[in-house]
Structure 1
Amino acid sequence: MGTLWFGGKIRTLYQEDEICEAVFVENGVIIDVGKENQLRTKYAGKITDFEDVMGAVMYPGFVDSHLHMIGHGEKLLRLDLSEVNSIEKLKHILLNTMEKLSPDDWLIGEGFNENLFPSKKIPDRFVLDEISQEQPIVLSRVCRHALVTNTMGLQLAGITEQTNEPPGGVIVKDEAGVPTGYLLDQAQELVKEVMPTKSLNYIKRAMEASLKDLYRHGFVGAHTEDLNYYGDPIGTLRTFYDVIDGKRNKFRANLLIHHEVTDQIMALDERDHSFIELGSVKIFADGALGGRTALLSEPYSDDKSTQGVAIHTPDELSEIVKGARELEMPVAIHVIGDLALEYALNAIEKYPVPDGKRDRLIHLQVTREDLIQRMKKLPLILDIQPRFVATDFPWVEERLGQERIPYSFAWRRLLQEGLLCAGGSDAPIEPVNPILGIHAAVTRRKPNDENHEGYIPTEKLSLFEALRLFTVGSAEAINKEAERGMIRKGYVADFTILSKDLFDLSPDEWLNVEVEKTIVDNSVMYDRKML
């Protein structure tokens, strides 16, 4: 029979000021939305469950349009360095961690960010050798487009002065030509190939930790890319099926599939699942601004010797897109620099997306007017991460210079041009909390910095626009906007219930709002009061 949700405010997100009192649900689908007394009367013979939200506020279920679910779980399980703000503190943490390891263990840390250090110095092999010269150490940069390793790590990977850089990668060397231990983009693979293999049991533990945390933050679903990073893409996919079983755990996961394993995944017979969808073919066109590997059409303002790194040549990128089209699949292309975006547009214009589907361009941090006009003519969606504004500014201004800034991180400009945008976190690179992403989209500053007008304040979004990035936009990214992303008749019964209405609060007050319940398919997956 049916469930009546009532007892609080319901924000449908169909229109900014649309508020309802109750929702009636049957078989996981919204049957009606309206006034509580009218729904009680209209469905009196069908209501078997009454769910009182006790004055809380119901929103359409939040969906993260871009993250790495297993990577987020790894961050929860492993050494998290993302808040470390000095080389000295980093060394202290690493020394304490090293004492707990056995002699055969690797010391692996996640997410250092040298822009938080007063010195802005990369913790290269000389720093890491102070921790250990007998055990390998590998620390990933916050962007995951770079890592550092010590001398032992370089030796195990066979990296010397004579090692050739792989296509799409950089082995950073000192003035004498000696590798510093800092490896960018594809050069990271030289070390990753000799690192210990992660077991499927480890992957499952990371997945379970991630899912629990996503529920806690109000997420009913996510678009995630994980299948090519753990040595066994089929085993990783089956771990998704095992953890998100549709009974104990309901969660709407859309899996982006790295192009190197697409044929392998799509050849499987066991691909039908009520909550897991196989989505776009994932392609990396360039790196990241932090390590100066994002591909720009002009040199970096703070390093005229480089324009960044193309992961693939334009012809190679086009061939990968062509391969996706042969499978009748859209593509999801990581593009941060404007030249990478140009290469991506060339490829998808040459090989158009199948009818009824949308390509996805991920990050899109640096654009140009001519590229915006080209994007407007294509069936695509822009997958943006608002939180990057709070973490990348002001140092990103040094990278790009003032001339490029008006077309950088320009979310309002993109929306005003009529382009579809979805909102994600890129966790584990940024915190997964959607409130932080919404806050960054609206304020364009760090939390609790109320005297700051925001970086490029003309690009601020309204709260309504920011919320729709994580609801309607995420649905549009996978052509599900007719059934997901709003609280309307015929839509799935996925809800995020918050303790207070964000529209009644100032942005910094949003940070204290609690997720009361997370509901997927009319099933409560998280209840704060049951913890």
Structure 2
Amino acid sequence: MGKLWYGGKIYTLTEPNATVEAIYTENGSIVEIGNKVSLERRYKNKIEASYNLIGDTMYPGFVDSHLHIIGHGEKLTRLDLSPMTSANQVLEAVRNKQHQLEHGEWLIAEGWNENQWTNAKIISRWDLDKACPKNPVLLTRICRHAVIVNSKALELACITKETKDPQGGKIVRNEMGEPTGYLLDKAQDLIKQILSPISNSQLEKTTEVAIKDLLSKGLVGGHTEDLSYYGGFERTLQAYQHILPAKYKFRAHLLVHHLVFDDMIESGLSYGDGGPFTTLGAMKIFSDGALGGRTAWLTDVYTDDQDNYGIPIHESDRLEELVRKARKYDHPIAVHAIGDKAVEEVAKLIKKYPLKNGKRDRIIHAQIINKNVLSLLKEINVVLDIQPSFVSSDFPWVLERIGDERAPLAYAWRTFIEEGIACAAGSDAPIEEVNPLNGIKAAVSRQSDLDQQAYGETQKLSMYEAVSLYTKGSAFVINHEHDRGLIQPGYVADFTILSHDLFSIENYETIDEVTVKGTIVDGEWMYKA
């Protein structure tokens, strides 16, 4: 038995402005599209339900190509520092939160961003000691490449003046050599490795909270990287499998961090295993840090830190070793690379060790490139996993980091598309807001949320290009362009229904008024406004 969908504008995305009047679906797949009357006549004995969109607009289901689903759940359930505009606000929030904790319980908060503060000076351990003297405190920066902790946390982690910086990380110190509590990239692990593991029930609850929220944002799926952070590969995978599809239908494509890659192999699993709702993906590798903490790996020094090129997470031999390990199993890689030097090193390795099975590697972020890197990217089979919302949150402060000379090829989305380099788009939630409409707005407007100015206007995308990144692009990177990302016969019945027609919007400010009216996955309503 099947379902008929009609009564609104339905975009197929096969080409700009391509629409259809109605869709007939069966068993989670699109059977036929066309004229409503014709479909009703042809399938009159099979239609068990008809859904009138009542003038709303339907698109192929939006998919976030890069986020951290469980991390998003943590942001929803923890103290959220992202809206705060001063260090004093953060410290006051910590001061208030401590009264809800038991003695010795960790105070963990998410999302501080000094670039939104009136004074961008980083909080120190001593500031936190005054606000919360008895409990260990861990405040994660919005980029998740830096944390601030108090003295109690440093003491529990045995981090002292004598502790050496780990490879790929930095313990920031004062003029006396004392740790300030500010830990960059791999130095965070010195703290995180002593945290008590999350319980199974809390892990599943956090995951479920996140997925429910993602569905409410019009997302039918997401490519996520969580499997090494919450008690190991098997435990985290089981948390997903207990929820999907038993409680919700949502297409979670699960990148496998290199630290748990062996666990996957020992489980007898490989790329693409896990079924349509908990599918195992590429090996995830970090090659550098982030621009906010000046740890993204650049070819030339930071404009506002003339001795600093950023931090490579791995030594060159180790990075190559990880790529070779993936290739031993014909496995694609998904590498976090923000700075142009990081992108270059990863691209060289993809060129040296190309996939031969038709699967696709991805470089995640690729925020800063140069002309040589651009030429190299055109030579290899890679998809760039971009985050349009970074434009709205990073400008104008990022110009202080990279200077005017590098700006033309910063966040260069249009350049990638014009040069024929495949792209997909996501949010990197919880680092950015997960709402795909925010990313679409940023892609077409290039407007900063900090000063409402447009930056890099020559890199703006059309609305069709932007929406395609969240539909066709997300399908292409995981080799599902044949059955996802379009409204066509044989494709999955995954739909996002919005209150407005995005392709008719002339004033991009009004994108903020668009609401999600429904999310359909596998032909079933997973969210209805």
Pick which of 115-124 and 385-394 moved more.
115-124
- Quick one: distance in 1 between partners of 2:516 and 2:162? 54
- The one-letter amino acid of 1:267's match is E
Q: Tell whether 2:327 aligns with 1:296.
A: no
What does residue 248 of structure 1 align with?
247
What does residue 395 of structure 2 align with?
393
Q: Tell whether 2:110 aligns with 1:100.
A: no
Describe the superposition over 1:85-130 as per-residue Cα deviations: whole angstroms up to 9, x where unpaired.
0011111111110111111211111010011111101111121111
How far did 1:27 drift?
A: 1.5
- The one-letter amino acid of 1:179's match is P
Q: Does the CA contact (< 8 Å) of 2:11 and 2:18 recur in 1?
A: yes
Q: Does the CA contact (< 8 Å) of 1:79 and 1:108 recur in 2?
A: yes
- The one-letter amino acid of 2:363's match is L
- Quick one: distance in 2 between partners of 1:118 and 1:50? 54
Q: Tell whether 2:408 aligns with 1:409.
A: no
How far did 1:153 drift?
A: 0.9
Q: Tell whether 2:513 aligns with 1:492.
A: no
- Quick one: distance in 2 between partners of 1:449 and 1:250? 39
Pick which of 128-137 and 305-314 moved more.
128-137
Per the alignment, do residues 91 and 447 of structure 1 end up closer, same or farther by CA in structure 2, a change over 3 Å counting?
Answer: closer
Q: Does the CA contact (< 8 Å) of 1:330 and 1:354 recur in 2?
A: no
How far did 1:269 drift?
A: 4.4
Structure 1 segments of 4+ aligned residues over 4 angstroms from their partners: 447-450
Q: Tell whether 2:317 aligns with 1:318.
A: no
Which SS does the other structure have where 1:7 is aligned?
Answer: strand
- Quick one: distance in 2 between partners of 1:448 and 1:228? 34
- Quick one: distance in 2 between partners of 1:448 and 1:19? 36
Structure-to-structure mapping, 1:58-457, within 5 angstroms: 58-244=58-244, 246-269=245-268, 271-446=273-448, 452=453, 454-457=454-457
- The one-letter amino acid of 1:17's match is N
- Quick one: distance in 2 between partners of 1:280 and 1:300? 31
Describe the superposition over 1:215-235 as per-residue Cα deviations: whole angstroms up to 9, x where unpaired.
000011110000111122210
Pick which of 463-472 and 38-47 moved more.
38-47
Which SS does the other structure have where 2:65 is aligned?
Answer: strand
- Quick one: distance in 1 between partners of 2:40 and 2:266? 49
Per the alignment, do residues 447 and 135 of structure 1 end up closer, same or farther by CA in structure 2, a change over 3 Å counting?
Answer: closer
> Number of residues paired by the alignment?
525
- The one-letter amino acid of 1:433's match is N
Which SS does the other structure have where 2:283 is aligned?
Answer: strand
Q: Does the CA contact (< 8 Å) of 1:284 and 1:333 recur in 2?
A: yes
Q: Tell whether 2:16 aligns with 1:16.
A: yes
- Quick one: distance in 1 between partners of 2:383 and 2:435? 22
Q: Does the CA contact (< 8 Å) of 1:56 and 1:497 recur in 2?
A: yes
How far did 1:365 drift?
A: 0.3
- Quick one: distance in 2 between partners of 1:139 and 1:47? 53
- Quick one: distance in 2 between partners of 1:15 and 1:114? 42
Describe the superposition over 1:150-175 as per-residue Cα deviations: whole angstroms up to 9, x where unpaired.
11111111111110111101000011
Describe the superposition over 1:405-425 as per-residue Cα deviations: whole angstroms up to 9, x where unpaired.
111101001110001100000
- The one-letter amino acid of 2:254's match is L
Pick which of 267-276 and 69-78 moved more.
267-276
- The one-letter amino acid of 2:518's match is K
Q: Does the CA contact (< 8 Å) of 2:274 and 2:280 recur in 1?
A: no
Pick which of 425-434 and 503-512 moved more.
503-512
Q: Does the CA contact (< 8 Å) of 1:357 and 1:379 recur in 2?
A: no
Pick which of 87-96 and 392-401 moved more.
87-96
Per the alignment, do residues 447 and 513 of structure 1 end up closer, same or farther by CA in structure 2, a change over 3 Å counting?
Answer: farther
Which SS does the other structure have where 1:134 is aligned?
Answer: coil
- Quick one: distance in 2 between partners of 1:391 and 1:234? 35
- The one-letter amino acid of 1:65's match is S
- The one-letter amino acid of 1:422's match is A
- Quick one: distance in 2 between partners of 1:265 and 1:479? 20
- Quick one: distance in 2 between partners of 1:15 and 1:331? 30
- Quick one: distance in 2 between partners of 1:77 and 1:265? 29
Q: Does the CA contact (< 8 Å) of 2:105 and 2:135 recur in 1?
A: yes
How far did 1:196 drift?
A: 2.4
- Quick one: distance in 1 between partners of 2:119 and 2:125? 16
Describe the superposition over 1:46-94 as per-residue Cα deviations: whole angstroms up to 9, x where unpaired.
3222111111111000000000000000000001101110011111111
Task: Normalising by structure 1, report the TM-score.
Answer: 0.97
- The one-letter amino acid of 1:511's match is D
What does residue 479 of structure 1 align with?
479
Describe the superposition over 1:202-260 as per-residue Cα deviations: whole angstroms up to 9, x where unpaired.
1111101000100000011110000111122210111011011x243111111000001
Consecutive unaligned residues of structure 2, counting only runs of 5 or more, are none
Which SS does the other structure have where 1:235 is aligned?
Answer: helix
Percent of pairs with identical residues: 48
TM-align CA RMSD: 1.3
- The one-letter amino acid of 2:509's match is D
Q: Does the CA contact (< 8 Å) of 1:376 and 1:418 recur in 2?
A: yes
Q: Does the CA contact (< 8 Å) of 1:173 and 1:180 recur in 2?
A: yes
Q: Does the CA contact (< 8 Å) of 1:421 and 1:473 recur in 2?
A: yes
Q: Does the CA contact (< 8 Å) of 1:439 and 1:447 recur in 2?
A: no
How far did 1:263 drift?
A: 1.2
Q: Does the CA contact (< 8 Å) of 1:493 and 1:522 recur in 2?
A: yes
Per the alignment, do residues 287 and 449 of structure 1 end up closer, same or farther by CA in structure 2, a change over 3 Å counting?
Answer: closer
How far did 1:138 drift?
A: 0.7
- Quick one: distance in 2 between partners of 1:50 and 1:333? 44
Structure-to-structure mapping, 1:23-34, within 5 angstroms: 23-34=23-34
Per the alignment, do residues 316 and 269 of structure 1 end up closer, same or farther by CA in structure 2, a change over 3 Å counting?
Answer: closer
- Quick one: distance in 2 between partners of 1:426 and 1:171? 25
Describe the superposition over 1:352-406 as per-residue Cα deviations: whole angstroms up to 9, x where unpaired.
1232111000000001111111111211100000000000000000000111111
